[in-house]
Amino acid sequence: MSSVAAARAVPVGRGLRGLQRTLPLVVILGATGTGKSTLALQLGQRLGGEIVSADSMQVYEGLDIITNKVSAQEQRICRHHMISFVDPLVTNYTVVDFRNRATALIEDIFARDKIPIVVGGTNYYIESLLWKVLVNTKPQQMGTEKVIDRKVELEKEDGLVLHKRLSQVDPEMAAKLHPHDKRKVARSLQVFEETGISHSEFLHRQHTEEGGGPLGGPLKFSNPCILWLHADQAVLDKRLDKRVDDMLAAGLLEELRDFHRRYNQKNVSENSQDYQHGIFQSIGFKEFHEYLITEGKCTLETSDQLLKKGIEALKQVTKRYARKQNRWVKNRFLSRPGPSVPPVYGLEVSDVSKWEESVLEPALEIVQSFIQGRKPIATPIKMPYNEAENKRSYHMCDLCDRIIIGDREWAGSPILQRPDLESGISLKPRV
């Protein structure tokens, strides 16, 4: 069954025999701490839907507190998918694995005449479900340590060496990527090695498909209903600080100690710990690394200082991550160019005492309007897109020995703002 066909038309029900509806794919966006899971649970309960988690860390077993998984009781209220099914030692689970499994689940939910509700903070996971944006390479047997992911292998090499190799096989993609961004450089090399086609060529093909645009291919589902929860940043910052305190009260440190003892202690003893892949990327794990490896081996005063340092680091990185999530929504959803761009409806969540009237009721009205095939009362949010505003061009500044990606960053480079430089110096992008 195709994805679009899965969003099939089904009878509306009693009194409207013969009229058809197309069940929507509901997607809830928002930074961490905005209440996405709460809204998903409420919508699922009222509409008889099922929730598909789109969180790259919640797919792993363990670390339930730090990854903020819904409780077993909440999962009994509404059926949840894509949570706690990957072994913590697996490091080669990718967005492609997620997309393949989640797409099949969504199609199954549609086939049972239910509404799938996608919710989570990993926005590129959500993009992979909405648009045709990924490249399929050689299939791998996910779920075993014995499988060596080619991308992970490549990431162990020097970034400049990888970038030079990419510039030889895919100069167009190399011009858009910084040599230190080894993940993306390695992914582009992996695409070429395993398919024989450059990554940029794959993307060109997607963009030129009917319904495609500058950021990817056409929509995969015909009736997406996208809700974006947003809050005043100062309010959200306080909420996130409190969330960390609540996690600590709920047993965060014991969870981290237990996980470290079972899965990471051996790696640390061999100096082979890896906080770049798998569940060990989770926000919170590396922040408490020093505290965990020295606990019981240093003075109580030192241990207390390391604990406070870890808590403060966790609060800061959580707030930075929330800002990053909002930037992604604005850049990749609200100002997305091309013909296949569904409307995004904003819901203000700063005042949780007004949740019912400001969030839940408007969300229900929007989703019901999609079910009934009418225009929602709410007006969608749209931001302008300027393709030339920050083109990902590659610039090399010989004066400060820096590589700069992006025309806006290049124009704002401190070296270009210095009045003592002769006006005759011309620094052009290298492409």
Contact 274, 267 (CB under 8 A): yes
Q: What percent of the chain has pLDDT over 90?
A: 47
Q: Judge whether 186 lies within some domain.
A: yes
Q: What is the pLDDT of residue 260?
A: 83
**Helix/strand/coil (H, E, C) string of 126-169?**
HHHHHECCCCCCCCCCCCCCCCCCHHHHHHCCCHHHHHHHHHHH
> Which segment of 172-181, 218-227, 336-345 scores lowest on mean pLDDT?
336-345
Q: How far apart (Å, rounded) are the C-alpha atoms in residues 125 and 128?
A: 5
Burial label for 313, CB within 10 Å (0-12, 13-18, 19+), is middle
Q: How confident is the model at residue 296 (pLDDT cuts 50, 70, 90)?
A: confident
Together in a domain, 247 and 194? no
Phi, psi of 92 (to 5 degrees): -110, 20
Q: How far apart (Å, rounded) are the C-alpha atoms in residues 31 and 233?
A: 10
Together in a domain, 208 and 250? no
Together in a domain, 269 and 306? yes
Domain C-terminal end among 267, 300, 318:
318
Contact 66, 370 (CB under 8 A): no
Together in a domain, 242 and 298? yes
- Transcribe 48-78 into DSSP letters: T-EEEE--TTTTBSS-TTTTTPPPHHHHHHS
Q: Find, among 68, 123, 127, the residue nearest to 318 by Cα.
A: 68
Q: Judge whether 231 lies within some domain.
A: no
**419: pLDDT strictly greater than 50:** no
**409: pLDDT strictly greater than 50:** no
Q: Find, among 31, 29, 27, the residue nearest to 283 by Cα.
A: 31
Work out the widest C-alpha separation in the chain, in whole angstroms: 78
**174: pLDDT strictly greater than 50:** yes
Domain C-terminal end among 318, 346, 379:
318
pLDDT digits (tens, 9 = 90+) for 244-285: 999 999 999 999 988 888 876 666 555 555 666 667 777 777
Q: How confident is the model at residue 413 (pLDDT cuts 50, 70, 90)?
A: very low
Q: What is the pLDDT of residue 310?
A: 95
In this prediction, residues 365-385 reach a mean pLDDT of: 91
Q: Judge whether 400 lies within some domain.
A: yes
Contact 393, 407 (CB under 8 A): yes
Q: How far apart (Å, rounded) are the C-alpha atoms in residues 213 and 208?
A: 7
Together in a domain, 188 and 253? no
**13: pLDDT strictly greater than 50:** no
Alpha carbon distance, N-terminus to C-terminus of the chain:
42
Together in a domain, 177 and 247? no
Together in a domain, 245 and 207? no
DSSP designation for 382: -
Q: Which of the two residues, 290 and 209, has the higher pLDDT score?
A: 290
Here the CATH number for the domain that contains residue 309 is 1.10.287.890
Q: How far apart (Å, rounded) are the C-alpha atoms in residues 356 and 38?
A: 12
Q: Which of the two residues, 207 and 364, has the higher pLDDT score?
A: 364
Together in a domain, 248 and 297? yes
Q: Judge whether 88 lies within some domain.
A: no
For residue 424, give its domain range: 389-430
Q: What is the pLDDT of residue 324?
A: 94
Q: What is the pLDDT of residue 224?
A: 96
**In which residue are the tokens 């290049």 written?**
410
Q: How confident is the model at residue 158 (pLDDT cuts 50, 70, 90)?
A: confident
Q: What is the pLDDT of residue 347?
A: 98
Together in a domain, 181 and 241? no
Q: Judge whether 204 lies within some domain.
A: yes
**407: pLDDT strictly greater than 60:** no
Q: How many helices (H) and strands (E) does the chain have?
A: 19, 10
**211: pLDDT strictly greater than 70:** no
Together in a domain, 272 and 309? yes
Q: Find, among 5, 183, 227, the residue nearest to 94 by Cα.
A: 183
**In which residue are the tokens 């706690």 written?**
84
Q: What is the pLDDT of residue 261?
A: 83
In this prediction, residues 373-396 reach a mean pLDDT of: 70
Q: Which of the two residues, 405 and 16, has the higher pLDDT score?
A: 405
Q: How far apart (Å, rounded) are the C-alpha atoms in residues 37 and 43?
A: 10
Structural domain count of the chain: 3
| CA gyration radius, the chain | 23
Q: How far apart (Å, rounded) are the C-alpha atoms in residues 330 and 336?
A: 8
Here the CATH number for the domain that contains residue 184 is 1.10.20.140
Q: Judge whether 4 lies within some domain.
A: no
pLDDT digits (tens, 9 = 90+) for 127-146: 999 988 765 655 554 444 43
- Transcribe 269-302 into DSSP letters: HTT---SSSGGGGSTTTGGGHHHHHHTTTS-HHH
Range among 95-109, 200-214, 282-296 rated most confident: 95-109
**Run of H or E including 224:** strand 224-230
**374: pLDDT strictly greater than 60:** yes
Q: How far apart (Å, rounded) are the C-alpha atoms in residues 314 and 61?
A: 21
Q: What is the pLDDT of residue 122?
A: 95
CA distances (Å), 250 to each of 238, 255, 366, in order? Answer: 18, 9, 35
**Run of H or E including 396:** strand 394-397
Residues 6+ apart with CB under 8 A from 411: none
Domain C-terminal end among 318, 337, 369:
318
In this prediction, residues 108-121 reach a mean pLDDT of: 97
Q: What is the pLDDT of residue 273?
A: 57
